[in-house]
Amino acid sequence: MGVIIELLTELNIPYTSVLAGEWRKRLSIGTGGNTRKAQKQKAQNYIRNKYTLTVSEDEADALCIGTYRIMDDEKKNAFDWA
């Protein structure tokens, strides 16, 4: 991740990052008391239920992060009538 951030910075490409606990909480996947394996399974279940896709653990995490970003943008733009 550090290499990607450095490259984006050098190329003046804006980026954001989000902690796993933040997107898991927003998507109600949970963090506290769950093992890593349980969290990964919950992410896969979330994607299966929301998008009817069966994906790997890493793909599920990526799709969950994307879903979080979309939800975050919608929340920020909810009252942007300009």
Task: Give the DSSP letter of residue 56.
Answer: -
Nearest CA-CA partner of 68 in 1, 14, 22: 22
pLDDT bracket for residue 82 (50, 70, 90): very low
Question: Each residue of 17-74: pLDDT tens digit?
Answer: 899 999 999 999 876 667 889 999 999 999 999 999 999 999 999 999 999 999 987 7
Task: Report the C-alpha gap between 11 and 81 in whole angstroms.
Answer: 32
Radius of gyration from C-alpha coordinates of the chain = 15
pTM for the structure as a whole: 0.79
pLDDT for 51: 97
